Amino acid sequence: MIVNTELEQKGNLFPSKFVSFKKDVDTLYFSTDNNVVLQLTVFRDSVLRFRYTTTGTFDNDFSYAITKYASKGYNHLEIVENDEEYHIITSKLLCKIAKENLRIRIYDVKDNTLINEDEIGFHWEESYEYGGNIVKMSKTINDRESYFGLGDKPEHLNLKGKRFENWVTDSYAFGKQTDPIYKAIPFFTGLHHNKAYGIFFDNTFRTYFDFGQERRNVTSFWAQGGEMNYYFIYGPKMNDVVESYTDLTGKPHQLPPLWALGFHQCKWSYYPEANVKEITNKFRELQIPCDAIYLDIDYMDGFRCFTWNKDYFPDPKRMVKELLDDGFKTVAIIDPGIKIDHEYSVFKEALEKDYFCKRADGPYMKGKVWPGECYFPDFTKPEVRDWWSGLFKELVEDIGVQGVWNDMNEPAVMEVPNKTFPDDVRHDYDGNRCSHRKAHNVYGMQMARATYHGMKKFNYPKRPFVITRAAYSGTQRYTSTWTGDNVATWEHLSIANIQAQRMAMSGFSFAGSDIGGFAEQPQGELYTRWIQLGVFHPFCRVHSSGDHGDQEPWAFDDDVTDIVRKFIELRYQLLPYLYTAFWKLIEHGTPLLQSLVLFDQEDQQTHYRTDEFVYGNQILVCPIQEPNAKGRRMYIPRGSWYNFWTDEYVEGGKEKWVDAEIDSMPMFIKEGAIIPKFPVQQYVGEIEIEELALEVYYKLGKEVSELYDDAHDGYDYTKGRYSFRTFKLTGKANELIIQQHKEGKYEASYKTFKLNLHGLPFEIKEIQIDNEIISIENLQVNETLSMVVDKNFAEIHLIGK
């Protein structure tokens, strides 16, 4: 361990001796004789907030990340003082604070396991360059501790032994280990002794995290300014940590419209109108489901946001309507840079109202983006956000665009060394005026937030759909996201896999990659394998720069088209399953994807796995990430599973070779699961669904599955017009029982379920539905055994011979 004197020589300062304690309801203050104050707030029994000042007073307490809806309140709070320490005891945690140096140790109160311990703990360095402090925290690494999280880092899922920086950055053609890239999510989870905790360092300055790289036994995090201000979140299950973090920083404010979970096609750029129509017509002609078509920057007049190039798109309203009649929702890009053009109304208005960002000494922040020289709205000012929201009236309400895509909002500026605003640019920061050093990481988030409010207002009573490139913690409340400008390589396919999983465990599930790769062009094989993975990502969009050829499903050969169709159809069939998972995300913060470590943290085998993941909570998938593969080895987590394609029953807890020729991909269903499936549609709402399939996978034992449904758009579901069905499966040697419980007032169009029975170990002798014996004739014997039942059954018994 490094001793203080060594660190002191490096300019570090430390809290000195404790002198006083004060309690104010749920908040405790510990002061030292060198003006350090630790403010400890008991948020919940398992969530503590630690905040430090070195001057005796705190900054205004303001955060863009923490939502006003975060749950607060605890069951138990006890404070005990002895000569050396204070003990803060809740029903979940025991937190010890040393009087000598304010160092913290946190224990599981039930079994006394040490969960997290300060090494040096809080210390700081004065920043000679900027004034203020560089605030630092160091913690001891536990035996065999693993680390996960941090948003979009294109690194191994387990962060142990690595160091990272958070500074949202436009990163064209980033690679494995490029750091930082587009997002700043300063939240990680630590896992040791089967206990997980999370730390959310809510500091928007440039932050750093070191997980034992610099010193093998120390994890540290620090920021170039602001306060040491972090939340400690106890699990002990990793899923609970992610849910609590999501509770703090917010769940998506509403469900997406179901179409947004369909397949999206994008390119830079589809224009003119005839080209857009050619693409959408081809989807319908080839019967490849698709719900959204994107307009990249060329739809605008000289890249001026909120304008149209009338040569390419003479009548956007008519076009958008015609596309919609054919099931395509139009999504349009909007960037933050506003072209300097005194004839352009958006520019003029923002100038008049003083909405553009300025340099410290007064002139406007001027930077080059697609339109040439631009000024940039200060989205950290509430009035500017309101104005921005209002700009969507024409685009959304009049023209009918149903999704907005926010790009370049890091903010990205071309042709300057740091690719963004200089540090001195001033921001309002909701009345807490500051420089770009503090506002940079939230600039894109605040833009997406303003866009979201505009979309929501002018699309009402339909639900909003927004997508953003830049993000800080909490952005998931407003928008979906994609992982930026990737490359058409096999390595990038595996990066996309890691990023989507990492985003989900960082509270931002509604994410996906540019399928096929943005830069360069994939071979048909890579494209096919990427589609196979992409249909299991919450946000599913093909996008490419268009510089290197086309990336539509028919741009390769007929075999590719057929396989791609098959997988996109699978996505559409599984929509009710994904929608149910989304409901659990907005209700409980449950991630849509679970890396194996989230699925089964107790099994050490999962701690260093990156390829396999669980989609929702019952479907295990593993992409093929190499050319010429006929299958792959993968880890099947504990429990038993059915191969989705063959119904082969496999025991987990071991590695296994799984066949997967180019038209397949390793995919398993958890035993006991009941997976809902829609019929294939070319777009959401194309047909009235008359019957919903339930794929029932027999298990000797019990398993619970769920099915959420509603009108697929609009807000009626918030007034109780949804249906939430719970299916309890109980399998015995000679019997299968399915019990259904339903809540909510929504009546779906379908009246029946078609039960497809997989893996039944006995021949059926008798069927009872709600205590009535049903003729065995009702069983259909096709590929699987199936039967049609009324959707409101309460209990089904299948009894064996």
The rounded distance, in Å, linking the Cα atoms of 735 and 795 is: 13
Count interface residues toward ligand GLC (CB under 6 A). 9
Q: In angstroms, give the least distance from the CB of 268 to ligand GLC.
A: 4
Q: In angstroms, give the least distance from the CB of 394 to ligand GLC.
A: 21
Q: In angstroms, give the least distance from the CB of 396 to ligand GLC.
A: 19
Q: In angstroms, give the least distance from the CB of 543 to ligand GLC.
A: 6
Q: In angstroms, give the least distance from the CB of 266 to ligand GLC.
A: 8
Among 268, 364, 554, 645, binds ligand GLC (CB under 6 A): 268
Examine residue 667 and tell whether it contacts ligand GLC (CB under 6 A): no
User: What token pair was written down for 270?
Assistant: 């589809």
Considering only residues 328-367, where is the footprint of ligand GLC by CB under 6 A?
Answer: 333
Among 141, 297, 503, 570, binds ligand GLC (CB under 6 A): 297
Candidate list 410, 428, 569, 611, residue with the active-site label: 410
Q: In angstroms, give the least distance from the CB of 316 to ligand GLC.
A: 18
Question: Cα separations (Å) of 673 from 256, 704, 708?
Answer: 25, 7, 15
Residue 376 CA, chain-centre distance (Å), reads 27
Among 108, 485, 552, 600, binds ligand GLC (CB under 6 A): 485
The rounded distance, in Å, linking the Cα atoms of 675 and 463 is: 26
Candidate list 108, 291, 407, 710, residue with the active-site label: 407
Candidate list 210, 296, 485, 552, residue with the active-site label: 485
Instruction: Provide Rg for the chain, Cα atoms.
Output: 27
Contact 748, 692 (CB under 8 A): yes
Let me know if 41 is exposed, middle or buried by CB neighbors in 10 A (0-12, 13-18, 19+).
middle
The rounded distance, in Å, linking the Cα atoms of 639 and 645 is: 19
* Choice between 424 and 550, CB closer to ligand GLC: 550
Question: According to the 3-state scheme, what is the secondary structure of 559-586?
Answer: HHHHHHHHHHHHHHHCHHHHHHHHHHHH
Q: In angstroms, give the least distance from the CB of 378 to ligand GLC.
A: 22
**What phi, psi does 544 have (nearest 5°)?**
-155, 160
Q: Identify the residue whose tokens are 């930026």.
A: 484
Would you give the binding string for ligand GLC spanning residues 49-88, x where CB under 6 A is met? ----------------------------------------
| Strands of 224-283, DSSP E | 228-234, 264-265
Q: In angstroms, give the least distance from the CB of 545 to ligand GLC.
A: 6
Would you give the binding string for ligand GLC spanning residues 392-421, x where CB under 6 A is met? ---------------x--------------
Would you give the binding string for ligand GLC spanning residues 141-180, x where CB under 6 A is met? ----------------------------------------
Residues 6+ apart with CB under 8 A from 372: 303, 339, 340
The rounded distance, in Å, linking the Cα atoms of 164 and 626 is: 28
The rounded distance, in Å, linking the Cα atoms of 212 and 280 is: 51
Considering only residues 542-601, where is the footprint of ligand GLC by CB under 6 A?
Answer: 543
* Choice between 339 and 469, CB closer to ligand GLC: 469
The rounded distance, in Å, linking the Cα atoms of 678 and 680 is: 6
Give, as one character, the DSSP assignment of residue 397.
Answer: I
Our answer to whether residue 485 is catalytic in this structure is: yes
* Choice between 409 and 595, CB closer to ligand GLC: 409
Q: Identify the residue whose tokens are 């996109």.
A: 568
Examine residue 296 and tell whether it contacts ligand GLC (CB under 6 A): yes
Number of residue whose CB is nearest ligand GLC? 268
For the chain, the 3-state helix, strand and coil shares in percent, each to the nearest 5, are 20, 35, 45
* Choice between 542 and 596, CB closer to ligand GLC: 542
* Choice between 300 and 396, CB closer to ligand GLC: 300
SS3 245: helix
* Choice between 246 and 481, CB closer to ligand GLC: 481
Let me know if 661 is exposed, middle or buried by CB neighbors in 10 A (0-12, 13-18, 19+).
exposed
Q: In angstroms, give the least distance from the CB of 360 to ligand GLC.
A: 29
Q: For residue 455, which of 508, 407, 504, 399 has the smallest C-alpha distance?
A: 399
Q: In what order do the strands lie in the sheet with 785-790?
A: 674-677, 691-697, 752-758, 785-790, 780-781
Q: In angstroms, give the least distance from the CB of 485 to ligand GLC.
A: 5
Would you give the binding string for ligand GLC spanning residues 212-251, x where CB under 6 A is met? ----------------------------------------
Q: In what order do the strands lie in the sheet with 367-369?
A: 338-339, 372-375, 367-369
Q: In angstroms, give the least distance from the CB of 59 to ligand GLC.
A: 34
User: What token pair was written down for 431?
Assistant: 């009345």
| Strands of 99-247, DSSP E | 104-108, 114-126, 133-140, 146-149, 163-166, 183-184, 187-192, 195-201, 207-211, 218-223, 228-234
**Residue 710 φ/ψ region, left for φ over 0, alpha for ψ in the -120 to 50 degree band, beta for the rest:** beta
Return the bridge partners of 437, or none.
Answer: none
Q: In angstroms, give the least distance from the CB of 368 to ligand GLC.
A: 14
Examine residue 496 and tell whether it contacts ligand GLC (CB under 6 A): no
User: What token pair was written down for 155?
Assistant: 């690194």
The rounded distance, in Å, linking the Cα atoms of 760 and 179 is: 50
The rounded distance, in Å, linking the Cα atoms of 568 and 290 is: 8
Q: For residue 176, which of 631, 515, 577, 494 has the smallest C-alpha distance?
A: 494
SS3 73: strand
* Choice between 288 and 369, CB closer to ligand GLC: 369
* Choice between 333 and 684, CB closer to ligand GLC: 333
* Helices (runs of H) and strands (runs of E) counted in the chain: 13, 53
Considering only residues 669-698, where is the footprint of ligand GLC by CB under 6 A?
Answer: none
Contact 749, 608 (CB under 8 A): no
Q: In angstroms, give the least distance from the CB of 467 to ligand GLC.
A: 10
The residue count for the chain: 801
Q: Torsion angle, CA of 450/451/452/455, rounded to 10 degrees?
A: 130
Would you give the binding string for ligand GLC spanning residues 617-656, x where CB under 6 A is met? ----------------------------------------
* Choice between 273 and 296, CB closer to ligand GLC: 296
Among 484, 616, 637, 652, binds ligand GLC (CB under 6 A): 484
The rounded distance, in Å, linking the Cα atoms of 627 and 369 is: 37
Please report, as ranges, the residues that interact with ligand GLC according to CB under 6 A: 268, 296-297, 333, 407, 469, 484-485, 543
Residues with active-site annotation? 407, 410, 485
